[in-house]
């Protein structure tokens, strides 16, 4: 299911719901991922100041992925300089 996120407050409850659906405790999940329980709690509460690399680690470990809908015009020849190296508009991001 795709859900549109507008802000951090939209993401937090989803992370918590997925963790609970997987039968995972917050403390055990945090320890297994390598982040503090406080950090995971902050994400689940929709905290607006989190470290992006840790956030993506948490999302990945829970099987959640972020997609960004980029307007085609932004990927025009002038806009392509902003794409990550080795990626094309039609190539999905992979780990």
Residue 87 lies in a domain: no
- CA 81 to chain CA mean position, Å: 23
* Mean pLDDT of the chain, nearest integer: 83
Q: What is the pLDDT of residues 27-66, one digit of tens each?
A: 999 999 999 999 999 999 998 898 988 999 999 999 998 8
What pLDDT is attached to residue 69? 78
H helices within the chain, ranges in order?
8-21, 26-33, 37-44, 52-61
CATH of the domain at 48: 1.10.260.40
Residue 6 lies in a domain: yes
Structural domain harbouring 4 = 1-80
The string over 60-81, giving b where at least 16 C-beta atoms fall within 10 Å of a residue's C-beta and e elsewhere, is eebeeeeeeeeeeeeeeeeeee
Our count of domains for the chain comes to 1
């Amino acid at each position: 299911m795709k859900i549109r996120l507008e802000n951090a407050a939209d993401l937090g409850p989803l992370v918590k719901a997925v963790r609970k659906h997987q039968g995972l405790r917050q403390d055990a999940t945090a320890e297994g991922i390598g982040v503090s329980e406080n950090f995971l709690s902050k994400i689940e509460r929709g905290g607006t100041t989190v470290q992006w690399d840790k956030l993506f680690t948490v999302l990945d470990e829970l099987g959640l992925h972020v997609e960004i809908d980029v307007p085609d015009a932004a990927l025009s020849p002038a806009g392509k300089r902003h794409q990550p190296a080795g990626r094309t508009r039609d190539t999905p991001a992979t780990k």
